[in-house]
Chain A
Amino acid sequence: MDNVKKRAAELLKSEAVKVVIGYTMGTNGKPRAAFIQNAEDVDSLIFNAQCVQNLAVYLSKAEIKQLGKPAIVAPLNVLRAIIQLASEMQIQENELIVLGVSPDGELIDFQNFSAIEKYLEDFNMEVDAKEKETLEKISSMSLEERWKFWNEELAECFKCYACRAACPMCYCHKCAVEQNKPQWIPVAAHRLGNLEWHIMRAMHLAGRCVNCDACHEACPKGINLNFLTKLMLNDAQEEFGYTGVTLKEGNLLSTFKTNDQENFIQ
């Protein structure tokens, strides 16, 4: 982490950036996001396995943008989100400086986004074996059991939208869930409102989710909503050979192949 701090201080001193987005120690021994604007403050930067928040979420927030050009401390999940955001034209190379960090906290230098993309090739974005098991367990239940399972799982949701706020890919200024002309989704956190909110959320993230679990971490009710996006990721890989974030290709659902396969259209 020393190299990261050193680089952050240099960048702030030379005014190459105005703010460094990173992790610092918060209350109860839990890391939180830090927005460092003075070189003297870089010592408060930390990095450990508990830094699970996806900092890329701040890149599209107006409050952070107005601080000026940022540098961002970027472990794997943040790097993925950066590339996905770039492929969706939400950020550009010259708008930020990426301070890559390895799992053990070492600085990784990236010349440009292509270098990040190249680096990411070595890390499979797959749903891991244990999570796959969970997906399979749910899939193998009967229709009635699945219906009951998700109704119960989602019953605790009280629509605080922390999952949305924590997600780097949920950057729309006006979310469909708040539209009321027409009202797509009932506002209240009752069964229908919760069910449809989570269906919509998963669909809007299908082929875009970077599988960082920031949504699940943010949920005060510990709802396993990330398994819906994990299913979408798994499907994207199995059905369409999706391999993870890239700069080039359009999103899964904004592109197509003329020979895409299905087995249910008559």
Chain B
Amino acid sequence: MNEFEPKIVAFVCNWCTYAGADLTGTSRIKYATNVKIVRFPCTGRIDFMLLLKAFSEGADGIIISGCHPNDCHYTSGNFHARRRWVMFRSLLDFMGIDVRRIQFSWVSAAEGAKWAEIVNSTVETVRELGPYSDYQKVADFLKTEVENG
């Protein structure tokens, strides 16, 4: 019973992926329960600092998902987000942060089945990688410091 259950935080946009995840439910598709969804107006609003927060608060993996290119409710939020992710992902990788733990995807409001697949495959990937203890140790360092005065 000690098997490691990954904690995954998903940052999704309101208009596509959140609605898509709703469809997964109404279609009664079963998928891994490891994911906690945080809803945003748009992928363009998903500040990279939120991802770091998730890791430092104990997430083992992260999903970021929004409308497909050209489908953004605000017309261009996802295009902006895409550029930011290209840069951010490269920076994290360069600094030795495990980008295999971050899954980016486009999931539309009609893609309930795709959402289930994304979650399931991310959970499997992260399960294999194990807990993100590297980052958590750094974050715990903070707590130990505080506790020890």
Contact = CB atoms under 8 A, between A and B. Distances in A.
B94 A139 contact: yes
Contact residues of B: prevailing secondary structure: helix
A266 interface: yes
A170 interface: no
Nearest to A257: B79
Interface stretch (B2-10, B21-29, B32-40, B137-145): B137-145
B79 A186 contact: no
Contact of B90 (A151, A191, A235, A255): A235
A252 interface: yes
A67 interface: no
Interface string A223-265: 0000010011001100110000000000011111110101011
Contact of A190 (B82, B105, B142): B142
A188 interface: yes
Given A147-B96, A260-B83, 7 more contacts: A186-B142, A228-B95, A239-B87, A256-B79, A260-B82, A264-B85, A264-B104
Contacts of B99: 264
Query: Which secondary structure dominates chain A's binding surface?
Result: helix
A186 B141 CA distance: 12
Contacts of A150: 95-96
B49 A265 contact: no
Contacts of B91: 199, 202-203, 206, 228, 231-232
A195 interface: yes
Interface in A133-170: 135, 138-139, 141, 143-151
A192 interface: yes
B128 to A, nearest CB: 14
A119 interface: no
Contact of B87 (A190, A203, A265): A203
A196 to B, nearest CB: 5
Interface residues of A, number: 50
18 contacts: A151-B96, A188-B145, A190-B142, A190-B145, A191-B141, A191-B142, A196-B49, A199-B48, A199-B92, A199-B95, A203-B48, A203-B88, A239-B90, A252-B83, A258-B79, A260-B86, A264-B89, A266-B106
B79 A260 contact: yes
A206 B84 CA distance: 9
Contacts of B83: 240, 252-253, 255-256, 260
Contacts of A143: 96, 98
Given A192-B142, A193-B142, A266 B82 contact: no
Interface string B98-129: 11000111100000000000100000000000
Interface of B: 48-49, 52-53, 56, 69-70, 76, 79-80, 82-99, 103-106, 118, 134, 138-139, 141-142, 145
A262 B79 CA distance: 11
A265 B134 contact: no
Interface in A182-217: 184-186, 188, 190-193, 195-196, 198-200, 202-203, 206-207
A198 B49 CA distance: 12
Contact of A147 (B89, B97, B104, B106): B97
A190 B141 contact: yes
A-B residue pairs, 10 tightest by C-beta: A147-B96, A146-B96, A256-B79, A266-B105, A265-B104, A191-B138, A150-B95, A206-B87, A184-B49, A192-B138
Contacts of B79: 256-258, 260
A253 B48 contact: no
B50 to A, nearest CB: 9
